[in-house]
Structure 1
Amino acid sequence: MDYARSSWCMSNGDDDPADASGEADAADDAEEAGGAGESTDAAAAPTLPDEATEESLNEYLDEIAERLDDAETEADLDDIDALLDDAEDGLDEADLPEPDEDDEDADDPRGDLEDRIAELRDGVEEARGPYAEDVIDAIEAAASTLEDTEWTADGRDDAADAVDAFVEEASESVAVDAFPEHDDLDELIAALDAVAEAVADADLDPDADAETIAALIDATDGLEAGLDDAEEWDDLETHEQLRAQGYYDVLGHYKDFPVEWSALKEHEARGNVDMILLALNSLESDFMERHCLEAFERMGKRGKTEASLEELLGRAEKRDQFAIRILGKMAAEEATETLVEFVSEDSNPQLQKIVFKALGEIGAAEAVQPLADQLDPEGDTEDLVRPHAARALGLIGDTRAIDPLADALAEDDSDDVRAAAGWALRQIGTREAIETVAEYADEHSFIVSTEAEKAEQSLDAASATA
């Protein structure tokens, strides 16, 4: 027989009167000896027959509910948990009717009793505490909020005031030695950590120190409310955020409309990359987004910073063609790995063209072989795309591209591809590459022969200066 039935069951009427008297005396002794944290009502525990029925289980749970209403200590709640364990055991052993599966509205005694036990379990958990651990958790959450939030100047001061008030209030309950400086966020966080440590060191008992814990909980509620009320950047309107961060400071007066565009032009002229990024990420406007990206494109290498690269690479990874074009203008070697993955995307010729050019402007040696593969006339790359692959190889200028470009010049059916291959070989600029192009001076295709004539001129110029 489980603990609740064997230890807490009342007399069924068959016990010796002396035993009953002894139990009464034991109960009196328990009441006299009982202190905080000890259950003193064991003799009044409800009983459950060995063969429980739906009715007896419901009566048993009714009595447990009454005990829950009267519970004052953690020990009382522990007793109720034990009684609920007993109820679950009794329910498992009870022979209860099963509901009719074909009738959705049929009674389900077992399910109803399981729900009652679950509700009482929840009630026990809700009645527990608060504990010192709850105070510490709340303090740690506030410290995280303080550290992770982007505060305005006024908001930072208000947050600091909230921490000061909390430390002062908490020091009335536990021994705290913390005097945070307002101008140092780390000091404020350290002060909260000091209070959390003091609470842990106090070893507060949920029963004996209930008032102290409640006072600390009230203090943490005040801290949380103070931080919630403190002004964050997200609380400001967009133009207020921009003004607070100095975005409009470059303007003597507002000129073009919108004024954000006027400021953007000035930031571009001054090379203020961070301010252009601020506008790009703050202003929910297709108009301003386009102008911010165009500013980066015009700035080229001047616009390349760690922050702008991160922004543009994130866009490029999503196949944003504008961002890819800008990365090329920036000669951003960091983009090579991402862009090489797009070289073979034959289903998107426009993307390929932009990627090829960007890789050429970057001078990405890692892209030589993937680009050379796109010259294959037997492959899937469109004729309109292959000239861009050839030109990209010329921009990169790697001598490994000479052979595939020479093959394209000699064998490709497209004059556009052949002319682009001739141009690329001239850009590589070695004598071998230029002589390869010069052989086609009598070519029937004007655009190919033009490249050959320029190659001959380069050779003549080199001979004249030799």
Structure 2
Amino acid sequence: MEYARSLWCMSNGDDDPADASEGADAADDAEEAGGAGESTDAAAAPTLPDEATEESLNEYLDEIAERLDGADTEADLDDVDALLDDAEEGVAEADLPEPDEDDEDADDPRGDLEDRIAELRDGVEEARGPYAEDVVDAIEAAASTLGDTEWTAAGRDDAADAVVAFVDAAADAVDDGVDADEIDPDTVDTGSADTEAADADAAEETGGDRTDDLVAALDAVAEAVAGAGLDPDDDAETIAALIDAADALEAGLDDAEEWDDLETHEQLRAQGYYDVLGHYKDYPVEWAALKEHEARGNVDMILLALDSLQSDFMERHCLEAFERMGKRGKTEASVEELLGRAEKRDRPSIRILGKMAAEEATETLVEYVSEDSNPQLQKTVFKALGEIGAAEAVQPLANQLDPESDTDDLVRPHAARALGLIGDTRAIDPLAGALAEDESDDVRAAAGWALRQIGTHEALEAVAEYGDEHSFIVSTEAEKAERALDEAAPTA
């Protein structure tokens, strides 16, 4: 309430609120003498009695509403805000009847007044601005959309047109408010719109560079507007014109075509996935194209199909294509894709990483060696590590040969074979121990096979001594080791 009283007093040239009554009398005399409508804005400020009632508070709010309707400047709106502060204080201090708690339809004067104050405050906020900060925020949001969105070729052209149109409009709007040279559309390098004749890699690079230029152009406009010191009152028309231009920019970007706007087959066609086909065949064209890409070694296109065609059918065939390609299908991108799946214990992906001999997968796969609760996963991991030739896996795999471990008897032979594929001589002792002591003939035979793969004289001798073994599969490995030793022996 202090604001309303002080505003009244100052309007009469008196800085002392204690003389408010004298100021009020003078104002009354002035109104009688000069007639209605000749008082200043300050003199017209509403006042609130010390002992406010529901009726007087509503009248006070009515006058504030009128003052809000006539507010032309930010200072006027600041005055309205201050009067609303007084109104809130008056409502809080007023002795108003409380609603009957048992009657849901009972009147609530205090609540109704508080609602009116809240509505008037909303009106003040709606009447404020726009500000230069709003323009900057809109430009920064557009720049973020432009840089973060994956556009089609046509969409990138439309987005560029929207940016150039905005820069044009901004240059026209700022006039003397902003240095127009900073946002001159002729100085903005938006790149060439003709990307159709370029190859895929060049088109992608050009598109990326071009987008960077467009984002830089928007950043230049935002910086110029932020540094111009535009006043919401004095430069209202300039700010409004910039807001309109920013709205048009947003609409233009919304209308520009994104990859996500296209159907999957349209995306694939635009990226040349079907170009390998002379004509569409009766069975799914995606599969027909996939087989052709596999034959040609087009790893990127297989990855494109795997990412785009969200069906179990195509996922299975994409992974099978990589498995058949083996090392031929190994690229940084394919390993990254398969390793991401392997980290989720996807067995087909683990199997493919082995076929690719992807040493990048060793660290992840070694973590799964001891997962005794999942024998099928262990078998796949052991073989993959063997095919990779992962020396780091020798000790973890050797630990699985221990008969006292929790490793399944059906899994331990796979650990032995993996050690044979790796071929590291550190595995000779644990393999020889398994051959000598394990109760499972399958484990012993696998250990014998692994020692033969290592192939050193020591390894072959460790197997050859079991030629008279009662187990056929073990004695067979011993006989092969003996022949290898004979072949390696120098002739007389």
Same fold? TM cut 0.5: yes
Instruction: Show the 5 A alignment for 1:322-341.
Output: 322-341=348-367
Amino acid at match of 2:328: R
Query: How far off its partner does 1:159 sit?
Result: 1.6
Aligned in 2, Cα 1:13/1:203: closer, same or farther, shift over 3 Å?
closer
Choose the corresponding residue for 1:267, options 277, 288, 293: 293
Query: How far off its partner does 1:429 sit?
Result: 2.3
Instruction: Show the 5 A alignment for 1:310-349.
Output: 310-349=336-375
Amino acid at match of 1:404: P
**Other structure's SS at 2:227 match:** helix
**Other structure's SS at 1:163 match:** helix
Instruction: Show the 5 A alignment for 1:222-371.
Output: 222-255=248-281, 257-371=283-397
Rounded Cα–Cα distance in structure 1 between residues aligned with 2:109 and 2:377: 66
Instruction: Show the 5 A alignment for 1:23-102.
Output: 41-49=41-49, 60-90=60-90
In the alignment, is residue 450 of structure 1 matched against residue 476 of structure 2?
yes
Aligned in 2, Cα 1:112/1:385: closer, same or farther, shift over 3 Å?
farther
Identity over the aligned pairs, expressed in percent?
Answer: 83
Q: Tell me, yes or no, if the aligned pair for 2:386 and 2:419 is still in contact at 8 Å.
A: yes
Q: Tell me, yes or no, if the aligned pair for 2:168 and 2:184 is still in contact at 8 Å.
A: no
Aligned in 2, Cα 1:131/1:436: closer, same or farther, shift over 3 Å?
same
Query: How far off its partner does 1:199 sit?
Result: 1.7
**Other structure's SS at 2:337 match:** helix
1:35 match: none
Aligned in 2, Cα 1:18/1:100: closer, same or farther, shift over 3 Å?
closer
Amino acid at match of 2:360: E
Deviations 1:192-217 (A, max 9, x none): 22222232232211111111111111
Query: How far off its partner does 1:151 sit?
Result: 2.0
Deviating more after overlay: 348-357 vs 9-18:
9-18
Aligned in 2, Cα 1:3/1:253: closer, same or farther, shift over 3 Å?
same
Choose the corresponding residue for 1:407, options 414, 417, 433: 433
Amino acid at match of 1:397: G
**Other structure's SS at 1:300 match:** helix
Deviating more after overlay: 272-281 vs 357-366:
357-366
Aligned in 2, Cα 1:168/1:455: closer, same or farther, shift over 3 Å?
same
In the alignment, is residue 177 of structure 1 matched against residue 176 of structure 2?
no
Rounded Cα–Cα distance in structure 2 between residues aligned with 1:465 and 1:302: 42
Rounded Cα–Cα distance in structure 2 between residues aligned with 1:14 and 1:164: 62
Choose the corresponding residue for 1:381, options 393, 403, 407: 407
Deviating more after overlay: 160-169 vs 90-99:
90-99
Choose the corresponding residue for 1:421, options 447, 451, 458: 447
Rounded Cα–Cα distance in structure 2 between residues aligned with 1:300 and 1:330: 5
2:6 match: 7
**Other structure's SS at 1:171 match:** helix
Query: How far off its partner does 1:365 sit?
Result: 2.0
Amino acid at match of 1:159: A
Rounded Cα–Cα distance in structure 1 between residues aligned with 2:278 and 2:154: 26
Rounded Cα–Cα distance in structure 2 between residues aligned with 1:430 and 1:262: 48
2:26 match: 21
**Other structure's SS at 2:404 match:** coil
In the alignment, is residue 186 of structure 1 matched against residue 212 of structure 2?
yes
Rounded Cα–Cα distance in structure 2 between residues aligned with 1:250 and 1:219: 45
Rounded Cα–Cα distance in structure 2 between residues aligned with 1:124 and 1:187: 40
Aligned in 2, Cα 1:344/1:212: closer, same or farther, shift over 3 Å?
same
Q: Tell me, yes or no, if the aligned pair for 1:388 and 1:420 is still in contact at 8 Å.
A: yes
Rounded Cα–Cα distance in structure 2 between residues aligned with 1:98 and 1:457: 107
Query: How far off its partner does 1:62 sit?
Result: 4.7
Query: How far off its partner does 1:379 sit?
Result: 2.3
2:231 match: 205
Deviations 1:376-416 (A, max 9, x none): 22222211112112211222222222222222222222211
Choose the corresponding residue for 1:216, options 223, 242, 262: 242
Amino acid at match of 1:195: V
Q: Tell me, yes or no, if the aligned pair for 2:391 and 2:424 is still in contact at 8 Å.
A: yes
Aligned length: 451
Aligned in 2, Cα 1:116/1:428: closer, same or farther, shift over 3 Å?
farther
Q: Tell me, yes or no, if the aligned pair for 1:325 and 1:354 is still in contact at 8 Å.
A: yes
Aligned in 2, Cα 1:429/1:114: closer, same or farther, shift over 3 Å?
farther
Rounded Cα–Cα distance in structure 2 between residues aligned with 1:367 and 1:103: 78
Rounded Cα–Cα distance in structure 2 between residues aligned with 1:321 and 1:51: 81
With normalisation by structure 1, the TM-score equals 0.86
Amino acid at match of 1:214: A
Q: Tell me, yes or no, if the aligned pair for 2:8 and 2:42 is still in contact at 8 Å.
A: no
Runs of at least 5 residues in structure 1 that lack an aligned partner in the other structure? 26-39
Rounded Cα–Cα distance in structure 1 between residues aligned with 2:41 and 2:397: 85
Query: How far off its partner does 1:326 sit?
Result: 0.9
Runs of at least 5 residues in structure 2 that lack an aligned partner in the other structure? 31-39, 175-179, 193-209
Rounded Cα–Cα distance in structure 2 between residues aligned with 1:142 and 1:447: 72
Q: Tell me, yes or no, if the aligned pair for 1:163 and 1:188 is still in contact at 8 Å.
A: yes
Deviations 1:227-275 (A, max 9, x none): 2112222222222221211111112223352122121111111111111
Rounded Cα–Cα distance in structure 1 between residues aligned with 2:5 and 2:378: 81
Rounded Cα–Cα distance in structure 1 between residues aligned with 2:343 and 2:475: 40
Cα root mean square deviation, aligned: 3.1
Amino acid at match of 1:221: D
Rounded Cα–Cα distance in structure 2 between residues aligned with 1:165 and 1:126: 28
Amino acid at match of 1:290: R
Q: Tell me, yes or no, if the aligned pair for 1:157 and 1:182 is still in contact at 8 Å.
A: no
Q: Tell me, yes or no, if the aligned pair for 2:164 and 2:185 is still in contact at 8 Å.
A: no
Instruction: Show the 5 A alignment for 1:91-130.
Output: 116-130=116-130
Deviating more after overlay: 91-100 vs 174-183:
91-100
Amino acid at match of 2:184: D
Deviations 1:306-358 (A, max 9, x none): 21122111211112111111111111111122222222222221111111111
Aligned in 2, Cα 1:80/1:253: closer, same or farther, shift over 3 Å?
same
Deviations 1:33-73 (A, max 9, x none): xxxxxxx7444334445566666655554544443343332
Rounded Cα–Cα distance in structure 2 between residues aligned with 1:24 and 1:196: 54
Deviating more after overlay: 11-20 vs 237-246:
11-20
Q: Tell me, yes or no, if the aligned pair for 1:23 and 1:43 is still in contact at 8 Å.
A: no
Query: How far off its partner does 1:218 sit?
Result: 0.8
Rounded Cα–Cα distance in structure 2 between residues aligned with 1:104 and 1:379: 73
Rounded Cα–Cα distance in structure 2 between residues aligned with 1:18 and 1:8: 11
Amino acid at match of 1:67: R
Q: Tell me, yes or no, if the aligned pair for 1:316 and 1:323 is still in contact at 8 Å.
A: yes
Amino acid at match of 1:7: S
Rounded Cα–Cα distance in structure 1 between residues aligned with 2:432 and 2:98: 85
Deviating more after overlay: 56-65 vs 190-199:
56-65
Rounded Cα–Cα distance in structure 1 between residues aligned with 2:484 and 2:54: 104
Aligned in 2, Cα 1:99/1:430: closer, same or farther, shift over 3 Å?
farther
